[in-house]
């Protein structure tokens, strides 16, 4: 399948989206730009666009094979992928397996506490408001999704967590927490969208607990490029 890249439809913090000749398909192009704290901190992680693109596609193909519908269509190059055109549900879905980041800060607990069961959070995807945390009833009141769609999203999110934890455990990485976004195709089907990468996941080496994700950029730890490359190498080898 060949997809002709047409006009740019959108540019976000980490990706650009282009139209194609197929109204149901768009092309996503990944950038090396890095942002944190709702865009207040800006920088570059050289090579991350290609890593995030290829890692996302690898994991989405695996999730699709395990029964989780995704927006993935075809990898076109190191940085570009054809995906189903979706309307994004304006919710960020955060699953946490281990305390870290804003959870540890918000509730005054130390990082690194393994939860008995995973937690789920919803935040309203709205940069101007700072992506505030909301619950199911807020989401319904704001008409962000229907009750059935929220049930479906929550079910998929926990299934993705189980699968990703397994994939990453095999390569010696603990999945601490991660953010998912979902979209609706033209017929209303809910599918996993956006990306799964060191930008959207907290990943710790299971032995050394070294951070292998965007926290290296957020917290000025250095070595972000090397961390992203290490995750890619473990996940995909020499592919």
In eight-state DSSP terms, residue 218 is H
pLDDT tens, position by position, 196-205: 999 999 999 9
81 three-state secondary structure: strand
Mean predicted confidence (pLDDT) in 168-196? 98
The pTM (predicted TM-score) of the whole model is 0.95
Model pLDDT, residue 1: 66
Rounded percentage of the chain residues whose pLDDT exceeds 70: 99
User: Which CATH number belongs to the domain containing residue 143 in this structure?
Assistant: 3.30.470.20
pLDDT tens, position by position, 39-74: 889 999 999 999 999 999 999 999 999 999 999 999
**Claim to verify: residue 111 and residue 184 sit in the same structural domain:** yes
Q: Is residue 115 part of a domain?
A: yes
**Claim to verify: residue 18 and residue 46 sit in the same structural domain:** yes
Dihedral angle at the C-alpha atoms of 2, 4, 8, 10, nearest 10 degrees? -20
Q: Is residue 32 part of a domain?
A: yes
Q: How far, in Å, are 15, 62, 85, 231 from residue 27 at the CA level?
A: 10, 20, 9, 24
**Claim to verify: residue 141 and residue 175 sit in the same structural domain:** yes
Model pLDDT, residue 238: 67
**Claim to verify: residue 98 and residue 212 sit in the same structural domain:** yes
Confidence of residue 84 (pLDDT cuts 50, 70, 90): very high
pLDDT tens, position by position, 150-179: 999 999 999 999 999 999 999 999 999 999
**Claim to verify: residue 48 and residue 63 sit in the same structural domain:** yes
Q: How many domains are contained in the chain?
A: 2
Q: Which residue has the tokens 């505030």?
A: 132
Tell me the Ramachandran region of residue 198: left when phi exceeds 0, alpha when psi lies from -120 to 50, beta otherwise: alpha
Domain that holds residue 41: 8-84
- On whether the CB atoms of residues 184 and 87 are closer than 8 A, the answer is yes
**Claim to verify: residue 103 and residue 152 sit in the same structural domain:** yes
Q: Which residue has the tokens 């619950």?
A: 135
**Claim to verify: residue 149 and residue 132 sit in the same structural domain:** yes
């Amino acid at each position: 399948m060949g997809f002709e890249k047409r006009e740019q439809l959108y540019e976000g913090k980490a990706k650009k989206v282009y139209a194609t000749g197929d109204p149901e398909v768009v092309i996503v192009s990944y950038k090396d730009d890095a942002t944190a704290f709702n865009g207040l901190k800006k920088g570059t992680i050289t090579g991350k666009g290609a890593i995030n693109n290829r890692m996302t596609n690898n994991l989405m193909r695996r999730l699709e094979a395990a029964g989780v519908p995704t927006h993935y269509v075809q990898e076109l190059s190191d940085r570009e992928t054809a995906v189903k055109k979706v309307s994004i549900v304006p919710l960020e879905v955060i699953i946490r397996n281990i305390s870290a980041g804003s959870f540890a800060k918000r509730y005054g607990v130390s990082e690194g506490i393994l939860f008995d069961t995973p937690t789920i959070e919803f935040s309203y995807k709205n940069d101007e408001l700072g992506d505030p945390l909301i619950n199911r009833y807020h989401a319904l009141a704001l008409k962000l999704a229907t009750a059935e769609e929220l049930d479906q999203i929550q079910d998929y999110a926990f299934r993705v967590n189980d699968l990703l934890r397994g994939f990453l455990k095999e390569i010696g990485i603990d999945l601490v927490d991660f953010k998912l976004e979902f979209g609706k195709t033209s017929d209303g089907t809910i599918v996993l969208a956006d990306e799964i990468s060191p930008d959207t996941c907290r990943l710790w080496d299971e032995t050394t607990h070294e951070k292998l994700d965007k926290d290296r950029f957020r917290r000025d730890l250095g070595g972000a490029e090397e961390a992203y490359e290490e995750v890619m190498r473990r996940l995909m080898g020499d592919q």
